[in-house]
Amino acid sequence: MTEYANPFVNAAVKLGMNKKEALLMADSTANIDFESVIKLNKSVEYFQSGQFKKDHEAEKWLDKHMD
């Protein structure tokens, strides 16, 4: 299999896209800040996991008892 310089093209081709589709996808990802996307995904997982509610309840309890 041909390896391309752009890792997104390589991944897209491995998923079955042709090179033209893969290049178009890579072009549309060029301006994405992936660190921000990863942080956002982690935040969403945190909220969806129910851990946020537990942490929020603990924080409220501490605030109430610290005054």
The tens digit of pLDDT for each residue in 17-58 reads 777 777 777 776 666 667 777 787 788 888 788 888 888 888
State the pLDDT at residue 1: 55
State the pLDDT at residue 36: 74
State the pLDDT at residue 33: 67
- pTM beyond cutoff 0.85: no
State the pLDDT at residue 10: 77
Q: How many residues does the chain have?
A: 67
State the pLDDT at residue 47: 79
Alpha helices, H only, the chain: 7-14, 19-29, 34-49, 51-66
